[in-house]
Amino acid sequence: MLNLRVNQIVMAKLIELQNDGSVIVSFQGRLLRLKNESNQKFKLGEMIALVVTATKPLRFRLAQSKSLRSGLNINI
Rounded distance, CA 57 to CA 74, Å? 8
Rounded distance, CA 30 to CA 27, Å? 5
Q: Give the number of C-alpha atoms closer than 13 A to the C-alpha of residue 63, restricted to the C-beta side.
A: 11
Asked if 50 and 60 touch (Cβ cutoff 8 Å), the reply is yes
Q: What is the reported pTM?
A: 0.76
For 9-73, CATH gives 2.30.30
Q: Name the helix (H) or strand (E) containing 43.
A: none
What does each of the 76 residues of the chain score in pLDDT, given as a tens digit?
678 999 999 999 999 999 998 999 999 899 999 998 887 889 999 999 999 999 998 899 988 754 444 455 554 4
